[in-house]
Amino acid sequence: MHRHHDTGGEPAGPVVPEEHDYAAWEKRVDAILRLLTQRRVITVDELRRGIEELGPGAYDELSYYQRWIASVGNNLLEKGVVTVDELGRKLAEVEARWRAAGRQGEAAP
């Protein structure tokens, strides 16, 4: 048995030529990661390790950039760049702002 991300040589179905235009939030995540690595706050290695540690379910349940932002969040908490309390309050603030603007959604992961 080897870890879920280490997938070379495993059986799989056809390569489905899917692609999508990246959403603004996805580019935002990519940009945040680039800026964090440029400023040496985290490394891409830490990002990858964080994704690997999300566990195999993450690969089935989360999309690519969902895994990225989950890993970035965990890394920033581990390093004390943000606290759990700060992040919780900011998430609630953004959610309230978006709902006030008429958007609907689910805040819980």
Partner 1 sequence: MSDRFAVGERVRVRAAWPPGHVRTPHYLRGKRGEILSIAGRFANPEELAYGRDGKPARALYRVRFEQAALWPDHQGRARDTVVADIFEHWLEPAEEGGA
Partner 2 sequence: MTAQAEHRHHHPHPRQPDLEDQPFDHFQLMAEAIGELLIAKGVFGADDLRRTIEAIDARSPADGARLVARAWLDPAFKARVLEDVNAAAGELGIDAGAIPIRALENTDRLHNVVVCTLCSCYPRGLLGLPPDWYKARAYRSRTIREPRAVLAEFGTSVPDDVEIRVHDSTADLRYLVLPMRPPGTEDMSEAELAPLVTRDCMIGTAVPQPRPV
* Interface positions with partner 1 (CB under 8 A): 2, 6, 8-9, 43, 45-46, 48-49, 52, 79
- Residue 41 as a binder of partner 2 (CB under 8 A): the answer is yes
String of DSSP letters for 92-104: HHHHHHHHHTT--
CA distance 62 to 3: 17
Whichever of 8 and 17 has its CB closer to partner 1, that residue is: 8
- Number of residues lying near partner 2 (CB under 8 A): 65
Q: Supply the angle between the helices 64-79 and 44-52 in degrees, to the nearest 10.
A: 110
Q: Which does 95 bind (CB under 5 to 8 A by kind): partner 2, partner 1, none?
A: partner 2
Kindly state whether residue 49 participates in binding partner 2, applying the rule CB under 8 A: no
Residues 59-78, interacting with partner 2 (CB under 8 A): 59, 62-66, 69-70, 72-73, 76
Q: How far is the C-alpha of 50 from the C-alpha of 37, rounded, in Å?
A: 14
Task: Read off the amino acid at residue 94.
Answer: V
Residue 100 touches which of partner 1, partner 2, none (Cβ within 5-8 Å per kind) = none
Q: Which of the choices partner 1, partner 2, none does residue 39 contact, using the CB cut-off of 5 to 8 A by kind?
A: partner 2
Cβ neighbours for 95, distance < 8 A, ≥ 6 positions apart: 105, 107
